Amino acid sequence: MAGEKVKGHCPSCGAGRFADVIAAHQETWSGGYVDGCVRHSILKCRGCEVVYVQRAESHSEDQDHHRDENGEWVTHYPERMTYWPAPTKRAPPEWAHTFAIDPDLSRLIDELYAALNADLRVLAAIGVRTIFDRASELLEIDPNQTFAEKLASLEAKGSIGGAEHASLSVLADAGGAAAHRGWRPTPDQLGTLVSTLEGFLYRTMILGDALKELKAAVPNRQSPRRARAE
């Protein structure tokens, strides 16, 4: 209850971090031969001082049994923990803030990572495809083209190579399957989709400007004749 110290999953520091219980509320319920308990706690992380909510639920049909120090069997009712805000499953890359210059792309990226962290895999897969469409438009590709035509245009401009063309084709197929056939990717499959998208965004929209700045900062090589004259 309030004033206790517990372990929780801090949205900033991660799992297994000590927190102070600021407030708590517990409800019990019973239905026939089954009863249960739901406890809500407002926690404050002892590390970063972020405040978050922990929901712990248990019921009589979910039991564990173990022996105590005296060898007696003890019944334990494990609690299923959920948190708000939900623990981060995948954070946006550090360079994602760069896209704030385009409100539409920035909003789409925020919604993609919100879907990832809420385990909304179908919506996240659709979001990957939608972000590609917006990014390609910013790269001056006609938004009315089909996905295949967009990839061909990007390759013709030299924005992507043959290998990336093939990878992005899979991204399009996955987004279409999620949108029209209810395909729900596994976490690993979704991770591959997001990594492919991140690589495309970074190379075409971030790395190019960074390389231009680097080239301007690197001193030109002097010819041996000029170096001796100096």
pLDDT in tens, 18-73: 999 999 999 998 877 888 899 999 999 999 999 999 999 987 766 676 777 787 77
The number of angstroms, rounded, from the C-alpha of 104 to the middle of its chain's C-alpha atoms is: 18
Residue whose pair of structure tokens reads 């407002």 in the numeric block: 42
Decide: pTM greater than 0.85: no
For the cut 70, the answer to whether the pLDDT of residue 224 exceeds it is no
Range name among 73-77, 126-130, 212-216 with the lowest pLDDT average? 212-216
For the cut 80, the answer to whether the pLDDT of residue 230 exceeds it is no
DSSP 46-105: TTT--EEEEEEEEETTS-EEEE-TTS-EEEE-PPEEEEESPPPSSPPPGGGGGGGGSHHH
Which distant-in-sequence residues (6+ apart) come within 8 Å of 25 by Cβ?
39, 40, 41
191, 135 Cβ separation under 8 angstroms: no
Spell out the domain ranges in the chain.
5-84, 94-217
42, 74 Cβ separation under 8 angstroms: no
